[in-house]
Amino acid sequence: DIQLTQSPSFLSASVGDRVTITCRASQGISSYLAWYQQTPGKAPKLLIYAASTLQSGVPSRFSGSGSGTEFTLTISSLQPEDFATYFCQRVNSPPLTFGGGTKVEIK
Amino acid sequence: EVQLLESGGGLVQPGGSLRLSCAVSGFTFSDHYIDWVRQAPGKGLEWVGLSRNKANSYTIEYAASVKGRFIISRDDSNNSLYLQMNSLKTEDTAVYYCTRHKNYAFDFWGQGTMVTVSS
C-alpha cells in the first residue's frame, strides 16, 4: 500500500507567519491528494482537493501544490483560527490513506 | 444544506458487535460515494471503508484492518449508510465519522459517534 509521510509532525509558529507542511507519498499518486484541517473535538474540514484546488469557502491564504510524490500545504499568513492539526490524504484508489498529521501550535 | 448524522456508538465488550448508522440529507444519496473514517483517541485519521454510488453498482471497499469483520451497507430509500462491526477489538475504539466522497475528496463530514471497546 502507498504510505503518506507528513512533515513536520509538529510546528510552533506565530500569527502572521508563513507555514509550509509537506506530504510525501511512497509511490506516485498524480494529483490525487487532499488536505484537511481539524480542530479539537471537531470533524475534519476539507481545505484543498486535487492537490491544489481550494475548496469553496476556504480562505485564499491556504494553498496547495505538488504532484507525483511530493506535496505541500502553505498558509501564507497564519491566523489565530488556523492553529489546528492538518492531514493529507491520497484519494486515487483504496485504501484512501491519511498522513500522520501536523499539529500547528502557537509559539 | 448537506448533513450527515452518525448514531449507534457506545460501549461494547471485546468480541461483541455494534451497528452504526449514518443518515444523510441535502443531496442525492444514490449519486455519491460515502465513506467511513475513524479516529482513535489522540491519534490520526484512519480510512475504514467506502460504498460507491448507484452508477458504480454500490460496490464496497474496506481497509485491511477491518476486512472480514466490518460490513458496510446502504439503504437508499432511507438515505442511510450502515457500518456493522463484528468481532470488535480494543483497537477499534475510536470516533467513527461518515463522510461524503466527491471530486476525489471528503467534502462533508458528520459530527462522529464514539465507539468504546472495553471489558
Tens place of pLDDT per residue across chain B (119 aa): 999 999 999 999 999 999 999 999 999 999 999 999 999 999 999 999 999 999 999 999 999 999 999 999 999 999 999 999 999 999 999 999 999 999 899 999 999 999 999 99
CA B3 to CA A45: how far, in whole Å? 14
Query: What are B56's three cell numbers?
Result: 458504480
- Tell me if chain B has a CB within 8 Å of the CB of A63: no
Helices and strands: H and E segment counts in chain A: 0, 10
Instruction: Select from A58, A96, A98, A102 the residue whose CB has the most chain B CBs within 10 Å, as the one to mutate to test that interface.
Output: A96
Query: In sequence order, what are the residues at sequence separation of 6 or more whose Cβ sits closer than 8 angstroms to the Cβ of residue B84?
Result: B17, B19, B70, B71, B72, B73
Q: Which residue has the cell 489522540?
A: B42
Listed in order, strand segments (DSSP E) in chain B are: 3-7, 10-12, 18-25, 33-39, 45-51, 60-62, 70-75, 80-85, 94-102, 105-109, 113-117
| Cβ neighbours, 10 Å, residue A10 | 11
Instruction: Select from A46, A53, A56, A67 the residue whose CB has the most chain B CBs within 10 Å, as the one to mutate to test that interface.
Output: A46
